[in-house]
Amino acid sequence: MRFSPFRLSIIAVVLALGVGGATAQTQRVVPESKAQVQLSFAPIVRQTAGAVVNVYASRSVRRQNTAMEEYFRRFFGEDTPGVPRGRSQSSLGSGVIVDPAGLVITNNHVIENMNEVKVALADRREFEADIVLRDPRTDIAVLRLKGATNLQAVELGDSEALQVGDIVLAIGNPFGVGQTVTQGIVSALARTQVGISDYQFFIQTDAAINPGNSGGALIDMNGRVVGINTAIYSRSGGSIGIGFAVPSSMVRVVLNSAKGGAQNVVRPWIGARLQPVDGDIATGLGLERPTGVLVTSVYEKGPAAEAGLKRGDVILAVDGQPVDNPDSFGYRFTLKGTQGQAPVTVLRGGKQSTLQVRLMPPPEVPPRDPVRGRTRTPFAGATLVNISPAVADELQIDVADEGVVIADLDERSVAGSIGFEKGDLIVAINGERVPSTKEAERLIDRAGGYWEITVNRGGRVFTTVLGR
């Protein structure tokens, strides 16, 4: 089996009364008659479908000339008929209008690496769109439609109120056939072993989701968006009834960042390294079952250290919400924002206590001071920066007290062809430690034609030797 992320409760009386009178606390009831079973989802579809759109993204990719094409270019000009200068790449997905002024939520993988985005509404109007904010870590992106006003929008609901068994509708544009509505139930909550994005905490549904549904809406029985459809688990690439959606609570974090004018989503930083509690660890700690997350190290200047967290502590909950692995902790902690404090329930020595952890973004200390790798060196095409908690958080690597890391890399460059990767920590050049980008620049300038470069990649240290 493989994941196909398309880079890709029960009927209540409210249906008979109309959606407008529903609340998040609507009592769930089982149908008691044939008439109740025959009730329709049409009122909810009418209320929401107009806010679900098609997203078309494309970009032109220039390719290297062959010798014959270069001959025509030189002697007959750049735009010689019959001599193709590039090719076009495109993607198709769905989106949801969440603001009448034209803000649209979609998946980041729908518009990733694209420079032209168009959105087609259910009434067949089309708008060009600007990309307001991309967040690869949640696979969510925010678009703004150019020249659009007074559009039909749908409200973000409360994904935290969902229960397994609740009925949901998936609306999108599967396979490009046109807007389609499918119905199913919430099959599971808090799915974390999916491997789609950094913040894995997905709603699972059996409502049919297929390629093209990416970025579309998962609608609850109150007519609100409780998730953004993102991926499926499939043998063939088509739906087999296992689909995943990003919860609306996390979508709201990204949307609020976009509305606030942020260039990226700022998340709270705990300043500690965590790992799951497996059966062996649980036995060693005297736990009845594997639960919580184990603190394996604490950054001495971070919020965890300030709050009194220590190596060997087990975090059981964030603000009363249980956490069972680092992904669920990251989700719960992110929802708390970057101001104030978050109560964290900790198990230490068999006793539980609650610590108040300060909510703050990861600091960018020291400053990045980026250095672009020069030509005729192994670092050509790479950008080196000083490591800091902010950089480590962005690159999803461990925080180091000092050092230089590859923050950006052109895979087609010299550095890419050698095998360097984004997130590599440059430990030493020709036997000399690299504590800063200033020192890295000095060592690169004096290296000459011989290179002995020591790299730390995810805890694995190795040395690459180049030159004579």
Q: Residues annotated in the binding site for substrate, as ranges?
A: 109, 139, 212-214
For 448, list phi and psi in degrees, rounded to 5: 70, -140
**What is the Cα–Cα distance from 377 to 382, expressed in whole angstroms?**
10
3-state SS, residue 25:
coil
Return all residues near 72 (Cβ < 8 A) that are at least 6 apart. 80, 83
The angle formed by the CA atoms of residues 388, 198 and 420, to the nearest 5 degrees, is 60
Residues annotated in a binding site: 109, 139, 212-214
Q: Three-state SS string across 111-137, please?
A: HCCCCEEEEECCCCCEEEEEEEEEECC
**What is the Cα–Cα distance from 387 to 47, expressed in whole angstroms?**
49
Residue 4 is inside which H or E element, if any?
A: strand 2-4
User: Which residues are catalytically annotated?
Assistant: 109, 139, 214
Residue 256 is inside which H or E element, if any?
A: helix 248-259
Return all residues near 426 (Cβ < 8 A) that are at least 6 apart. 384, 403, 404, 405, 406, 434, 440, 453, 454, 455
Q: Six-digit token pair at 20?
A: 């407008």
DSSP track, 162-206: --TT-EEEEEE-GGGS--EEEEEEEEEEEE----SSSS--EEEE-
Residue of 448, 447, 453 lying closest to 465 (CA atoms)? 453
Alpha-carbon dihedral angle through residues 428, 429, 434, 439, given to the nearest 10 degrees: 170
**What is the Cα–Cα distance from 156 to 250, expressed in whole angstroms?**
11
